């Protein structure tokens, strides 16, 4: 799954196990067919009309290109690698947008490499927010730009959050100044199936495609609990109860399994040169089928531990995997199960009790999960908190250390870098400081777990995208021109 490329996305969704070309060139030429006693009617291998074959869809490909960069060595910083290491007085070398070397003070710096004196500073991987609505619920929060919830049906798996992203959302600039280099933009949680998420590089861009993270898989936003049943129960529709939620999930997966089977049958027949009618392409079922094929990652909003356990059983019934529970405020109650199932939990550190299903939220949620060996992610769901995920991780780490767990910074940094990268299917590309990974880096004024820490420079693919001390690298949204403050916020 990790080698999956965006441009091949639509192909992968429907044609796993078949080669992409099988549908267009592999038909009608089986030698065995002609030799049969009763010859099979010869079928012409005609591709489906444009748009009817999800496997052949061009989609909305990434046009992202890194900003200009030059080979650079950061020398003398304390480095949190997000592989479990803290390197004091370390060196990171970056070239061609990638990390080329990482190590202690003796690390060789190649010739023609710019040297940044980072003494007294800290370096971490770029922060990754696995739960963001930037662009889809942008600032200003007016109804004309409230594009995060297609709250018209409990199943809107057919919508893609990328089609709601407004790239001029000033929140992207604020998040970058907080060190955020990668974001998963999700649809809201009004529906059982909210639609596809999209993963963005946090660079200023005129278009959504210009931010789209090359090669990142899609996610499917699902929501259990109070929101869907409140929204639809309030309209006199199903679901209006928790059991209605589960029935809605299962019905959709039955439809998706049936749709997947029909397309598989169709492609198998075409491959054998038999006559076959293509099923009608369905955007909603395309996405659900992509989950069943293991190519779209399930990002499941689910607060309560008992509901998480039910969601795990649904996933077993239909043979898909839940990648991460979001707002997983009660995950600490079932840490061992989540560790065994290899399901990440994304949580805030300190929000609690704002609705019934969040009543049991505790600061130590992340720490207890960490202790149980489960995957921990600290997320924001908030354009303010996303700017300080480092502090939110610090609160979560401190809650554990208050219990004597001795959680190091080298460990806790993973909660906002390597772990969300893994849960977004991009862990082989970014999220840690290792040779070969993208040079997505933050240079902090001091220990990033301090309330006083500030991101001084933020690099995406080796390119400087934000500099606290250089106005030339403080991009402003079109929206903020000519307005009070001109987009300056610090």
SS3 134: coil
**Which one of residues 8, 48, 395, 410 is an interface residue with another protein (CB under 8 A)?**
395
CB 64, CB 182: distance < 8 Å: no
User: Can you list the pairs that 310-317 forms with residues at least 24 positions away whose Cβ atoms lie under 8 Å?
Assistant: 310/224, 310/246, 311/222, 311/224, 311/249, 312/337, 312/341, 312/343, 314/246, 314/249, 314/250, 314/253, 317/250, 317/253
d(CA 52, CA 41): 24
DSSP 387: G
Site of tokens 């990974």: 437
Torsional class of 267: left (φ above 0), alpha (ψ -120 to 50), beta (otherwise): alpha
Chain positions 453 to 472 lying near another protein, rule: CB under 8 A, are: 453-454
**Which one of residues 2, 19, 25, 483 is an interface residue with another protein (CB under 8 A)?**
483
Q: How far is the CB of 110 from another protein (least distance, A)?
A: 36
**Which one of residues 162, 308, 382, 411 is an interface residue with another protein (CB under 8 A)?**
382
**Which one of residues 111, 144, 451, 481 is an interface residue with another protein (CB under 8 A)?**
451
Region from 10-18, 119-127, 139-147, 208-216 binding another protein, contact rule CB under 8 A: 139-147
Q: How far is the CB of 138 from another protein (least distance, A)?
A: 10
d(CA 254, CA 285): 10
Burial class, 310, CB count within 10 angstroms (exposed 0-12 / middle 13-18 / buried 19+): middle
DSSP 26: S
Q: How far is the CB of 287 from another protein (least distance, A)?
A: 19
Our CB check for another protein shows the closer of 92 and 344 to be 344
Q: Taking every pair of C-alpha atoms in the chain, what is the biggest distance, in angstroms?
A: 83
Chain positions 398 to 427 lying near another protein, rule: CB under 8 A, are: 398-399, 401-403
**Which one of residues 6, 160, 213, 449 is an interface residue with another protein (CB under 8 A)?**
449
Two tokens at 7? 């441009």
Q: How far is the CB of 448 from another protein (least distance, A)?
A: 10
Burial class, 431, CB count within 10 angstroms (exposed 0-12 / middle 13-18 / buried 19+): buried
d(CA 306, CA 364): 19
Chain positions 335 to 374 lying near another protein, rule: CB under 8 A, are: 348, 350-356, 358-364, 368, 371
Region from 11-19, 70-78, 118-126, 183-191 binding another protein, contact rule CB under 8 A: 183-191
Our CB check for another protein shows the closer of 230 and 262 to be 230
d(CA 133, CA 162): 11
Q: How far is the CB of 252 from another protein (least distance, A)?
A: 19
Burial class, 318, CB count within 10 angstroms (exposed 0-12 / middle 13-18 / buried 19+): middle
**Which x/- pattern over 286-315 shows residues binding another protein (rule: CB under 8 A)?**
---------------x--------------
Q: How far is the CB of 66 from another protein (least distance, A)?
A: 27
The b/e string for 83-119 (b: 16+ C-beta within 10 A; e otherwise) is: bebebeebbbbbbebbbbbbeeeeeebeeebeebebe
Chain positions 45 to 74 lying near another protein, rule: CB under 8 A, are: none
DSSP 480: G
Chain positions 185 to 204 lying near another protein, rule: CB under 8 A, are: 186, 188-190
Our CB check for another protein shows the closer of 215 and 400 to be 400
What are the helix (H) ranges across 170-241? 170-177, 226-233
Chain positions 94 to 133 lying near another protein, rule: CB under 8 A, are: 133
SS3 161: helix
Q: How many residues bind another protein (CB under 8 A)?
A: 71
Find, among 292, 295, 293, 279, the residue nearest to 2 by Cα: 295
Q: Does 215 bind another protein (CB under 8 A)?
A: no
Our CB check for another protein shows the closer of 247 and 359 to be 359
Q: How far is the CB of 393 from another protein (least distance, A)?
A: 9
Region from 23-31, 121-129, 251-259, 388-396 binding another protein, contact rule CB under 8 A: 388-396
Our CB check for another protein shows the closer of 259 and 444 to be 444
Our CB check for another protein shows the closer of 227 and 432 to be 227
Q: How far is the CB of 8 from another protein (least distance, A)?
A: 30
Chain positions 141 to 160 lying near another protein, rule: CB under 8 A, are: 141-142, 148-149, 151
**Which one of residues 176, 281, 293, 333 is an interface residue with another protein (CB under 8 A)?**
333
Q: How far is the CB of 338 from another protein (least distance, A)?
A: 13
Q: How far is the CB of 11 from another protein (least distance, A)?
A: 31
């Amino acid at each position: 799954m990790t080698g999956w490329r965006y441009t091949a996305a639509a192909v992968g969704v429907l044609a796993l196990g078949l080669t992409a070309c099988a549908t267009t060139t592999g038909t009608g030429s089986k030698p065995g067919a002609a030799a049969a006693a009763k010859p099979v009617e010869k079928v012409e291998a005609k591709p489906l009309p444009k748009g009817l074959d999800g496997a052949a869809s061009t989609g909305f490909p990434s046009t992202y290109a890194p900003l200009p960069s030059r080979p650079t060595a950061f020398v003398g910083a304390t480095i949190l690698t997000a592989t479990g290491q803290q390197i004091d007085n370390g060196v990171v070398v970056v070239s061609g947008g990638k990390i080329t070397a990482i190590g202690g003070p003796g690390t060789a710096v190649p010739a023609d490499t710019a040297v940044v004196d980072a003494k007294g500073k800290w370096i971490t991987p770029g922060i990754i927010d696995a739960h963001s609505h930037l662009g889809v619920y942008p600032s200003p929060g007016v109804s004309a730009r409230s594009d995060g919830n297609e709250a018209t049906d409990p199943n809107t798996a057919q919508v893609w959050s990328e089609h709601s992203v407004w790239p001029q959302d000033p929140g992207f600039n604020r998040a970058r100044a907080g060190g955020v280099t990668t974001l998963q933009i999700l649809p809201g949680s009004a529906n059982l199936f909210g639609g596809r998420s999209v993963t963005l590089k946090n660079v200023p861009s005129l278009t959504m495609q210009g931010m789209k993270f090359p090669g990142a898989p899609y996610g499917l936003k699902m929501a259990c609990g109070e929101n869907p049943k409140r929204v639809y129960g309030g309209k006199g529709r199903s679901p209006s109860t928790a059991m209605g939620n589960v029935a809605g999930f299962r019905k959709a997966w039955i439809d998706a399994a049936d749709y997947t089977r029909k397309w598989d049958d169709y492609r198998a027949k075409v491959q054998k040169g038999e006559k076959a009618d293509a099923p009608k392409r369905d955007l909603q079922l395309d996405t659900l089928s992509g989950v069943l094929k293991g190519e779209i990652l399930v990002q499941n909003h689910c607060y309560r531990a008992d509901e998480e356990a039910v969601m795990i059983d649904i996933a077993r019934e239909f043979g898909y995997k839940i990648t991460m529970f979001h707002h997983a405020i009660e995950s600490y109650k079932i840490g061992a199960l989540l560790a065994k199932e290899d399901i990440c939990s994304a949580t805030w550190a300190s929000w609690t009790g704002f609705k019934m299903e969040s009543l049991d939220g505790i600061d130590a949620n992340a720490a207890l999960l960490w202790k149980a060996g489960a995957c921990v992610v600290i997320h924001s769901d908030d354009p303010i908190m996303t700017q300080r995920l480092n502090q939110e991780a610090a609160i979560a780490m401190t809650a554990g250390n208050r219990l004597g767990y001795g959680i190091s910074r080298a460990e806790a940094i993973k909660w906002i870098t390597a772990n969300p990268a893994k849960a977004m299917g991009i862990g082989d590309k970014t999220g840690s400081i290792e040779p070969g990974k993208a040079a997505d880096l933050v240079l902090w004024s001091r220990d990033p777990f301090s309330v006083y820490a500030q991101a001084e420079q933020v690099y995406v693919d080796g390119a400087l995208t934000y500099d606290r001390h250089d106005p030339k690298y403080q991009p402003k949204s079109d929206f903020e021109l000519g307005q009070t403050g001109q987009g300056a916020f610090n």
